[in-house]
Structure 1
Amino acid sequence: MKKLTSIWVFVVFLFTLTIKAQQIDQTYIQKIKDFTTDERFLPKSLLDVVDHPGIPNPLKHFGHIIGTEGIVHRSSEIYGYYKKLADSSPLVHMQEMGLTEEGRKFYLIVIGNQESMDRLDHYKDQLAKLADARKTNPEQAEDIILDSKPIYYISGGMHATEMGAPEMLMELAYRLVTSDASDIKAIRENVITVINPISEPDGWDKQVDWYFRYTKGREKFDDGFPRSAPYWGKYVFHDNNRDGLQVSQGITKSIFKGFFEFHPTVMLDLHESVPLLYISTGTGPYNDFVDPITQSEWQVMGNHDVAEVSAQGMPGAFTWAFYDGWWPGYGIWVANNHNSNGRFYETYGNAGADTYLRDYSTARFAGDLASSKEWYRPYPATPLVYWSFRNNINYTQVGVIASLYYAATNKELLLRNFYKKGFNSLEKGKKEGPKAFKIGKDQRDPAMVAYLANQLKAQGIEVHENEDYFIVLSEQPYRNLAVSLLTPQTYPKDAKFPPYDAIAWTLPYLYGVDVESKDSIDFDINSLKLLTDDAVYKGKVSGDGNTYILPYKAQNTVLPALYWVKNQNRNAEVSVLTKETLISGDTVPAGSIIFRRINANQAGQIASDFGLNLMATLANVPAENQKAVNLPRVAIYHTWYNTQDEGWSRYTFEERGIPYTSIDKDVLKAGGLRSKFDVIILPRVRGNAKNFVNGVDKKYGPLPYTTTAEFPSHGFPASTSDMTGGPGFVGVDNLKKFAEEGGLLISFDNSSFILAELGIAAELSPVNASSLFHPGSIVQAKVRKSGHPVLYGYPETFPLFRGNGPLLQTDKYNRDLMLVQYGHQSLKDEVPYEGPIMGMAENEKMEKAKKPDEKNPPYVIAGMVRNEQEIIGHGSVFNLPVGRGNVLAFTFDPLHRYLNHHDAPMVWNALINWDSLR
């Protein structure tokens, strides 16, 4: 052991000597100059890449510099370079963080001076102590701060077309390890840098293959050709940065794992979209539950970075005018939600390594031209720029180094702020309400109660339990996040700029779980046990008999249980109760499921594995009150021009254990749909009927998305010999025939609008509501057609999540097609006339409608809607007859981002009862 230690000390000694005798790699420097299009885009601080004798820079390793025209690297090549750095330098540590859905590895790269690397576990422990003010009082915190270093986490490549950061981070890592420049030395000695090289390796490799296969060398950037591969992750496209509340995807799990292991003081996510370098602060309104210290840090650090970039003579850096700072579900917001600091950059990217003349002369942010000189953009660039891959890398790297240097020179301030934010959250829990949240385990869907407890636990929120309740006590470091997730949001109606994303996320409403907010503790805290393992609700079977009844309350796990039963026991008989029925003295609601010809073990497994309570009975259920369940063959349709939301639908089905077939335009064109499927789901897709019918422009075809030896990442999760074109009118006609022949078409959100445009949902027409502004909020809905199978298990009024989707309506004589409406009041044309009626005798006049005695509840439960009178009374769910079949049209997305689980059972009801919706 002593011999190994001596060898390592000698290696460190040699490394130190080589640092002192640095040579600059002039070839590398010249190539940086060659690939930079303007000296104003060329910071002198980057013209000192070291030619280290023992550690290869990217030029030596790859044979070309980072930012070389026409060259990007696959994930295996990028990880290979970091492995070479780790093998060559004691200042680099590489660790695995998990796997993607396709089996690629996530890595983190840790860089610091020798002392930092030798004491890495110590520094992680120190930050963990600062993260919990219950364990560390202010006096102890001061001592810990003096023996701590900030950990600065940097990530790139979350969005696959944003290709600069994963390349730049390799050069940055080499620079942090080898450079003797004063700012780099300060960073190396005072900061521990953690690099997430590629946040989304699956999407990155698909995009690299796409670039080499299709977009490399195209003459113009804005030529209409698709710049992105159709898929990134297995399920999730751009929404991979909208998974911070669900924590459902591998990318998010990796980010969360890294946060709770390192407790980084700052997290910086590198993106590309706007010219030339945006450094986040946002316009506001800021999230109510982010500590004011963090909000102030955004301003200080943002302006510091803009100043540093401008000081190097680089135009186009700005802050403030892009994004808001409200929604907490971005990946990097794991920091802001947990008393750290989460920030992001946006640089100008070309979705590859080519150089283009880019015109942003008409682009505006916060009302101002993107090229205008403003207080937040002191040095704008020209409205047209000749923009290269290397320009992008220069900007990002200079900004990141500036931000790291700020952390190095303000380390005690940042660490003190980190502790203080957790301390503030704890003090609020002591002094302010609510004091606790009480979640009863016995609710209509106990499995969702357990799911809520687990989701809170995944966020680092402490959840306690006793036999009857889950309890969230407010006196804990992440109190602010707990209150944010469990209470309604109120977005200011007078906000000057539109929100960047959804504005409501109250989990109890989204999950359909009742949560009681307690302003005082009226229970025995000492009787509570901390929830450490995942909560699991195991249902029970009560009573005796060989018929089993599942009282239905729109539980999310019923449909998966039915598919499981049919798979396990082909002889099982399953029926649904079509009306409320008295069985063995119990009133059983409509929609309840009756199982016959299953054994006691299978009934017990349904209860245990799916969290469902069953009643065993010997009573006969009236045959006229039942209908046999004929489980459908389900298809989920995807286009090739927009796969975002069908991915969430596929994910939801797979998580729930519901079988389906993924289909595309070629399946629609082939026809014979009714012989293959009973239900076809059309998830939300952007665009209009023209986009849907025509798909990707055929002038770019043929455009294969297939797996080949040269492009091995393509062809997954779907494959086609030609992406171009859509189903055409032949495919649309086949879709209509499918419904006419008895099939069920289910459309979500904008897809319902498209079906209306195409004449398949012919009774629906767009509603002109130009003043309605309805960002993602949780609102009240009201049942219009009680007892309809789609609404089994739902009360007369219930919350649902709706964004800025289409607004559709039928003619007045067709209003019986509306199953659910937005809000409680009637449309104006449905308000009964109360005046005189010429030609009708007084005793013949219609009876006046009785006015309700109580006021209608508010439409908005969480979030904000402007001019809500434009939508109240209009339909949210329609059931339209088409031939022998139906179109079930949702004007919102009931499977939105795997978040609004309370809305999803309307879809499950439709599948259970697909052949009886008429």
Structure 2
Amino acid sequence: MWHEYVGHDINRDWFMLRQPEVQVIARQLWEEWYPQIIFNHHQHSPFPTRIFIPPFADPVNPNIHPLVVRGVNMVGEHMAKRFEELEMPGVVSGLTFTMWWNGGMRTAPYFHNQVGILSEVTHRYASPVYHHPDSLPETIRAGSRELSMTEPSIHYTNPWRGGWSRLSESMDYHLVSSIGALDIGSRLREDWLYNIYRMGSQQIRDGEAGGPFAYLIPSEDQWDRGEAVEMINVLRRGGVEIHLATEAFQANGTEWPEGTYVAFTGQAFRPHLVDLMEPQDHPQREIYPGGPPEPPYGGLAGWTLPMQMAVNVVRVDEPFEARVEAVERAAVPSSSVVGDAGFGWVLSPRRNAARVAVNRLQAAGDRVHLATDAFEAAGVAFDPGAFVVEAGSGTEARVRTMAEELGLRVVAIAAAPAVETVPLRTPRLGLYMPWTGNMDEGWTRFIFHEHEFPVDTLRNAHFQRGELDAYDVIVLSDQNANSILQGHRPGAMPEPYVGGIGADGVEHLRRWVEAGGTLVTFDGAGDFAIDALGLPVANATVAIPREELFVPGSLIRTVFDNTHPIGYGTPGETAAFFQNSRAWDVLDPEQVDVVGRYADEDLLMSGWEIGAGTHLAGRPAVVRARLGAGQAVLIGFRPQFRAQPTGTYRLFFNAIHGAGAEDRPVLIGRTGAFE
């Protein structure tokens, strides 16, 4: 099945648990049923093997209990034994799939003391195919491991020799693997049950000993209080126990107020909690000694949750006592509406939820303005980019309802702020969806819907026919530049689905930007924008070999200019999700502004990097290029990867809302503090 939003990334949503289908299953796994073995069936295995089963490959995440690893190996070997008993060749293991990443349906269970099993069968097509024995490859390679396809080995004991490959045989292999797992599960049922208890007990004991003893999440000392609450609920959806302090308490030599959230590590799912709270340090691995780095499975090395969500979390190593109550689900932050609303109300740009509020108010017909500079109102200091809601018929009731539902603190003002404000219309937003299929587009569309942005899907034909004038802003999610331009090659798909935007589409896009449109690109799509629009920007990383620059799915320290219209409300420093992404060279500073830069030092926050200090440090990460009356915003990393890095959402939210400004030249002409 191809999920409406995220395709088969539905299988990679297992620590954020954003999609409702995943949430339902997670509740069964970690709050109600607590199975000891979880089996995830997939396709397809590397050709010419017939099925992949465990054991998996290195590395192993150090937060996983050793009994989990042994259990995975045992189930895999028992399945393999069954295949040999039934004379079913082509069973391979020990390739590609590792036990490092937390986030898949078979990997997240590891951090819950459960045995997670994955199988990958071959032949995913309805039509049978004959493979002549002479056509089979002699070896296959996966990372640092190369296996003979003709000679038996530890991980491929009975090579498949060729012949007919049918869908029914793939189903047979799935069935045998399932029966094998059920067989070993039933034979050792008391062992499995006792060992999940044994592991949970050990996790509780280790957590109560400290180092860390707990993680504290302040309710107030947060850049975005709503994202702190959301992070707590992400943990709760994953079965992690969270408590709320009912009285002030002492920890780390500091007094913490009532209302502080506490995640004690003395709990059964301690590995999941610790893995999400702490930085990852991926092992340095090479394809061969002295060779290029071996990419981690799924291209992911680091995912630390507080870093991605820009949430303030305090680690406490030494045990302490506190009066607390268990949290089922964290409520929205406290809300308030204070002051005299003679003119209207002000919303801080720091809250992602403020964008939801703006979208709701605009949908109701209320007037919303964007303040271009910092100001103070009713004794409250507001950053540049604050939203000013003008009083109108029924506006006050909507503001109060919205503040309560979203947990916003709203300040009423008697007069318009003494700074320049720009009236905003509802932005007419288009999101490009290629026929090639792009899960990054689906995640982007999900985030737009989640934050109540009205959005239309744009196909190749919209660009080719020049049907872009109905839009203020167009977003291109991460995609290879040639794929955007060319799409499916002729003959690969039915005629309506071949090709990409094409040369005519590029010309129409360029004219649309020059006429005042805003183009926003994520990661690889920025290369397309540079070429298509002739921007004075270059990809600074494109020609650097992997041996010299390698940052696979990691969190890189990045600084932002939150006085720039694209950076409004963004933390001055936070993590960027970098998956062998981009840094930019600015070729014409008169035409191009820098909104974000990779930090000058200490770039790696979580994951794995080679050469970041040499090739990324201090380089532009986010730029805004003016073109005619319009602009292109190039975000060099993935600011919305799988709906995880909420700390960088504001970058594209700002570009979208700014594109709806009634006087767009005011915002396009403004620069920030970065040189």
Q: TM-score range by the shorter chain?
A: 0.7 to 0.9
The answer to whether residue 249 in structure 2 is matched with residue 504 in structure 1 is: no
Q: Which amino acid aligns with 1:688?
A: A
Query: Aligned pair in 2 of structure 1 residues 370, 549: CA closer, same or farther (>3 Å)?
Result: farther
The answer to whether residue 156 in structure 2 is matched with residue 377 in structure 1 is: yes
SS at match of 2:98: coil
**1:549–1:592 contact (8 Å) kept in structure 2:** no
Tell me which residue corresponds to 2:507: 733
Q: After alignment, is 262-271 or 694-703 more displaced?
A: 694-703
Tell me which residue corresponds to 1:838: none
**1:538–1:607 contact (8 Å) kept in structure 2:** no
Q: Supply the distance in 2 between the matched residues of 1:585 and 1:397 (Cα, whole angstroms).
A: 68
Which residue, out of 256, 259, 273, partners 2:44? 273
Q: Which amino acid aligns with 1:864?
A: W
**2:16–2:644 contact (8 Å) kept in structure 1:** yes
Which residue, out of 531, 539, 542, partners 2:335? 539
Q: Which amino acid aligns with 2:179?
A: I
SS at match of 1:799: strand
**1:780–1:823 contact (8 Å) kept in structure 2:** yes
Q: Supply the distance in 2 between the matched residues of 1:541 and 1:621 (Cα, whole angstroms).
A: 17
Q: Supply the distance in 2 between the matched residues of 1:861 and 1:468 (Cα, whole angstroms).
A: 29
Tell me which residue corresponds to 2:284: 493
Which residue, out of 439, 446, 453, partners 1:658? 453
**1:590–1:787 contact (8 Å) kept in structure 2:** yes
Q: TM-score, normalised by structure 2?
A: 0.88
The answer to whether residue 245 in structure 2 is matched with residue 245 in structure 1 is: no
Q: TM-score, normalised by structure 1?
A: 0.65
SS at match of 1:545: coil
Tell me which residue corresponds to 1:683: 477
Tell me which residue corresponds to 2:126: 352
Which residue, out of 542, 545, 550, partners 2:346? 550
Tell me which residue corresponds to 1:170: none
**1:753–1:766 contact (8 Å) kept in structure 2:** no
The answer to whether residue 408 in structure 2 is matched with residue 612 in structure 1 is: yes
Q: Supply the distance in 2 between the matched residues of 1:418 and 1:672 (Cα, whole angstroms).
A: 58
**1:753–1:808 contact (8 Å) kept in structure 2:** no
The answer to whether residue 110 in structure 2 is matched with residue 336 in structure 1 is: yes
Q: Which amino acid aligns with 2:57?
A: T
Identity, in percent, stands at 23
**2:552–2:609 contact (8 Å) kept in structure 1:** yes
Q: Supply the distance in 2 between the matched residues of 1:549 and 1:515 (Cα, whole angstroms).
A: 31
Q: After alignment, is 897-906 or 271-280 more displaced?
A: 271-280
Deviation at 1:886, TM superposition (A): 0.7
Q: Supply the distance in 1 between the matched residues of 2:591 and 2:631 (Cα, whole angstroms).
A: 16
Q: Supply the distance in 1 between the matched residues of 2:263 and 2:509 (Cα, whole angstroms).
A: 49
Deviation at 1:751, TM superposition (A): 0.9
**1:538–1:609 contact (8 Å) kept in structure 2:** no
Tell me which residue corresponds to 1:31: none
Tell me which residue corresponds to 1:805: 581
Residues 436-835 of structure 1: matches in 2 within 5 Å? 436-442=214-220, 443-466=222-245, 467-494=258-285, 497-501=294-298, 502-522=300-320, 524-525=322-323, 528-550=324-346, 552-568=348-364, 570=365, 572-598=366-392, 599-622=395-418, 624-674=419-469, 676-685=470-479, 687-689=480-482, 691-699=483-491, 702-703=494-495, 722-765=496-539, 767=541, 768-770=543-545, 771-783=548-560, 785=561, 787-811=563-587, 817-824=593-600
**2:510–2:532 contact (8 Å) kept in structure 1:** no
Deviation at 1:280, TM superposition (A): 2.2
SS at match of 1:817: strand
SS at match of 1:546: coil
Deviation at 1:664, TM superposition (A): 0.5
Tell me which residue corresponds to 1:262: 33
Deviation at 1:723, TM superposition (A): 1.8
The answer to whether residue 633 in structure 2 is matched with residue 882 in structure 1 is: no
Which residue, out of 593, 610, 627, partners 1:866? 610
Q: Which amino acid aligns with 2:557?
A: Q
Residues 28-427 of structure 1: matches in 2 within 5 Å? 203=1, 232-259=2-29, 260-274=31-45, 275-357=49-131, 361=137, 363-365=140-142, 366-369=144-147, 371=149, 372-382=151-161, 384-427=162-205
Deviation at 1:670, TM superposition (A): 2.0
TM-align CA RMSD: 2.3
How many residues of Structure 1 are paired with residues of Structure 2 in the alignment? 628
SS at match of 2:474: strand
Greater percentage in strand: 2
Once the two structures are superposed, residues 16-39 of structure 1 have per-residue CA deviations (whole angstroms, 9 ceiling, x without a partner) of xxxxxxxxxxxxxxxxxxxxxxxx
Q: Supply the distance in 2 between the matched residues of 1:910 and 1:370 (Cα, whole angstroms).
A: 52
Q: Which amino acid aligns with 1:917?
A: I
**1:895–1:904 contact (8 Å) kept in structure 2:** yes
**1:910–1:917 contact (8 Å) kept in structure 2:** no
Q: Supply the distance in 2 between the matched residues of 1:603 and 1:314 (Cα, whole angstroms).
A: 66
Instruction: Report 1 or 2 for greater relative contact order, CA contacts < 8 Å, sequence distance ≥ 6.
Output: 2
Q: Supply the distance in 2 between the matched residues of 1:254 and 1:587 (Cα, whole angstroms).
A: 42
SS at match of 1:791: coil
Q: Which amino acid aligns with 1:680?
A: I
Q: Supply the distance in 1 between the matched residues of 2:345 and 2:310 (Cα, whole angstroms).
A: 22
**1:636–1:682 contact (8 Å) kept in structure 2:** yes
**2:556–2:605 contact (8 Å) kept in structure 1:** yes
Q: Supply the distance in 2 between the matched residues of 1:351 and 1:548 (Cα, whole angstroms).
A: 61
Q: Supply the distance in 1 between the matched residues of 2:653 and 2:579 (Cα, whole angstroms).
A: 21
Once the two structures are superposed, residues 536-555 of structure 1 have per-residue CA deviations (whole angstroms, 9 ceiling, x without a partner) of 22421122232344353431
Once the two structures are superposed, residues 88-109 of structure 1 have per-residue CA deviations (whole angstroms, 9 ceiling, x without a partner) of xxxxxxxxxxxxxxxxxxxxxx
